[in-house]
Structure 1
Amino acid sequence: MLENLFADAVARDWDDSPEGTLRIAVVGCGGHARAVSLPAIATADYCEPTVIVSGSAEKRAELGETYMATALDYHEYTAGQAVDEYDAVYVSTPNRLHLPHVETAARLGKAVICEKPLEATLERAERLVAACENEGVPLMTAYRMQAAPVVRRLREFLRGGGIGEPQRAFGDFTYPALDGERGPDQWRLDPELAGAGALFDLGIYPLNTVRFLFDSDPVAAWGDTRSTGEAFAEVDEHSDFSVDFGEYVGNFSASFSGYTTTRLTVQGTHGRVVVDPAFGSTEDRDIMVETKAGRVRLVGVGANETREEFDYFANAVLTGGEIESDGEDGLVDMRTMTAVLESAETGSRVDVRN
């Protein structure tokens, strides 16, 4: 069984071969959108970038020319200009700006894929999801790993009892926020725009991935946050938290400083799985599965999962299919992380269930 575990590691179990192309307006053209998302959309099978929305005239000119797309500023987007030139909206602005941009898309009747976390606060995230529900437009929380064929194959294996009953999950995402050209003035270190620091930006990855792999909803959460560097005075530089999933517990960490680490381990009664690297947007996955039946390792898969994410979204919108990583999925993580922040303040375990 283990020998055939990843035989179809690149097969899309969600692909319905839709007809047509989903035209996407990209709202927010920060570093991630320019370096990762836009190239993924442009090379995807079922979608293309046709509208660029940015507050920077320089970015509008450059990206509009590069992708042969109509370029708008935020006022023009809100006013509904070029509304006939796109079918869906990808929101990639700072967290606290997601709500107004999603509300505009919903009002204009456009499907939405919104970066995670959905917003800077749980209350605003709930309003965001409600806006799409009220207008009847599809909403996808941009959890790219959920669309990756190799991750979905791993989910099938785990849910089928491949390592027995889950017992513990461990996840760490450490990424130095100040490395390279990123200085202390970036929006991720502004609590008003970000909502929280490493927890929201990085901790959401192991949390959501474990939930996806085992189809689990949190029961309770507890944790601690701390900051030592001056640049992180208003947000958490480090976050360590645990989540009670009922039948098993997840222990996670997220840090804005330290040696870059993206690792996920899930341990069951009959085996374990280690993914390292696990969460980077351009990293090839290295997956090791070990059970009493033996060990198998898959190296070098997953680097195109952002492209998979947008094709998954386009496939669902074009065919009217289900979106697994919908608004409610994003809200579960928002509730859980909000509980972690409450726990860090009170020192108590916090119930997550509605």
Structure 2
Amino acid sequence: MTGNKEQAALPQPAAQQVGYAVIGLGKLTLEELLPAFAVGRASRLAAVVSGNLTEAREAALAYGLSADDAYSYDDFEKLGERDDVHAVYIVLPNSLHREYTERAAKIGKHVLCEKPLATSVEDAEAMVKACKDAGVLLMTAYRCQYTPHHWAAREAVQSGRLGQVKLLHSVNVQIEPNEGQWRLKRKLAGGGSLPDVGLYCVNTVRFLLGEEPCEVSGTVHSTPGDERFTEVEESVTWQMRFPSGVVAQCACSYGAATARTIDVFGTGGRLAIDPAFDYQNLRLTVQTGQEVTEVRVPPEDQFRLETDHFSRCIQEGRAPYTPGEEGLQDQKIMEAIYRSAREGGRPVTLERFEGRDVFRGPAPERS
């Protein structure tokens, strides 16, 4: 058994790994994604694409590629000539996700797309359709559905360790500076704090429960006179009701000091993840009776876990755990929250789904 675990931890030979072209060279790509590919077990960096070709070449060279592995946005379709590029990872402003997903599908490349999947339900539906029609896989980059801490929390929730779950509370807030951020531009972002940081609350609550909400209600607020929020909202608070009777209360903001938490309350105990959405140093505690236990799991690179999962799905021809449909469902929920806010907080009924994990593929590898 020990030998098998050690063998499973070894990376695949480079020639067998799935080659990715990363689209967009922002902070997330440079600080998290490119380093993650360097330690991939089934994934490797094959090309980079940017609006600045000089920066793209510098990034390519820094990670062992050649200058010829750097492409501009205008040259994107040339990736179709590369047999060693099997997939693209889209890390662009939200409004560009549909365009580059459709362009990638047309040249036969699988698509891993950062969240939110799109800026509208219509665009998300078009992305799912484009990939299905082209016979390529589409995965939404929900890294929190691949991390050991979140899986340990999910197992505690669904195993009955907390008794019958009654309430969840999740907060994701941060200060968003006004420095020409595309996230503060509605045309590029599609919204403010909700699709950026609030989405973590929506998606992770759904993941922990394995259920889909049947009703949402919400309110939106922006500080009067704050020039950051002339196009997008500052803060959103909302409630999600689930068929089992569970109620989730959530909040997100671009105007408060950083806090990223999840609390789950059951008849037999409670669970807390704090911080819940950071890249590193997550902390999970479970309380039953008077006993509080910190659940310790080995640290993992979250981005390596999600990219390697997608790579194995490509290699084995199976659906990813967080396919495009998972991102589409969150888009529908967020639009319902916005609708409720426009209508004074009136509850909005969602389509009801029976069963568990109705939008997810087979469970990801746990190594």
Same fold (TM over 0.5): yes
Aligned residue for 1:108? 107
Q: Write the deviation string for residues 22-62 of structure 1: whole angstroms up to 9, x where unpaired.
A: 10010111111111111112221111111100001232121
- In 2, are the aligned partners of 1:285 and 1:299 still within 8 Å (CA)? no
Secondary structure, counterpart of 2:283 in structure 1: strand
Aligned residue for 2:360? none
- Count residues with an aligned counterpart: 338
Superposition pairs of residues 182-331 of structure 1, within 5 angstroms = 183-228=178-223, 229-246=226-243, 247-280=245-278, 282-292=279-289, 294-298=291-295, 302=299, 304-331=301-328
Superposition pairs of residues 90-169 of structure 1, within 5 angstroms = 90-169=89-168
Question: Partners in 1 of 2:12 and 2:136 — Cα distance?
Answer: 19
Kindly tell me: are residues 264 and 15 of structure 1, through their superposed partners in 2, closer, same or farther at Cα, counting changes over 3 Å?
farther
Kindly tell me: are residues 256 and 302 of structure 1, through their superposed partners in 2, closer, same or farther at Cα, counting changes over 3 Å?
farther
Secondary structure, counterpart of 1:260 in structure 2: strand
Superposition pairs of residues 3-14 of structure 1, within 5 angstroms = none
In percent, how many aligned pairs have the same letter?
33
How much does 1:88 deviate?
Answer: 0.6
Q: Which AA in structure 1 matches 2:275?
A: P
Q: Which AA in structure 2 matches 1:47?
A: S
Kindly tell me: are residues 256 and 301 of structure 1, through their superposed partners in 2, closer, same or farther at Cα, counting changes over 3 Å?
farther
How much does 1:293 deviate?
Answer: 7.7
Secondary structure, counterpart of 1:185 in structure 2: coil
Question: Partners in 2 of 1:220 and 1:16 — Cα distance?
Answer: 45
Q: Which AA in structure 2 matches 1:296?
A: T
Q: Give the TM-score normalised by structure 1.
A: 0.90
Q: Does 1:46 find its partner at 2:42?
A: yes
Q: Write the deviation string for residues 320-349 of structure 1: whole angstroms up to 9, x where unpaired.
A: 233111111111110000001111111211
Question: Partners in 2 of 1:64 and 1:18 — Cα distance?
Answer: 21
Q: Which AA in structure 1 matches 2:217?
A: W
Q: Which runs of 5+ in 2 are unaligned?
A: 353-367
How much does 1:95 deviate?
Answer: 0.4
Kindly tell me: are residues 15 and 313 of structure 1, through their superposed partners in 2, closer, same or farther at Cα, counting changes over 3 Å?
farther
- In 2, are the aligned partners of 1:196 and 1:236 still within 8 Å (CA)? yes
Name the Cα RMSD after superposition. 2.2
Question: Partners in 2 of 1:341 and 1:176 — Cα distance?
Answer: 21
Secondary structure, counterpart of 2:252 in structure 1: strand
Q: Which AA in structure 1 matches 2:46?
A: T
Question: Partners in 1 of 2:134 and 2:301 — Cα distance?
Answer: 32
Aligned residue for 2:358? none
Secondary structure, counterpart of 2:163 in structure 1: coil
How much does 1:82 deviate?
Answer: 4.6
Q: Does 1:31 find its partner at 2:30?
A: no
Q: Which runs of 5+ in 1 are unaligned?
A: 1-10
How much does 1:260 deviate?
Answer: 0.6
Q: Which AA in structure 2 matches 1:161?
A: G
Q: Which AA in structure 1 matches 2:250?
A: F
Q: Write the deviation string for residues 53-85 of structure 1: whole angstroms up to 9, x where unpaired.
A: 000123212111112330001111135455323
Aligned residue for 1:176? 175
Q: Give the TM-score normalised by structure 2.
A: 0.87
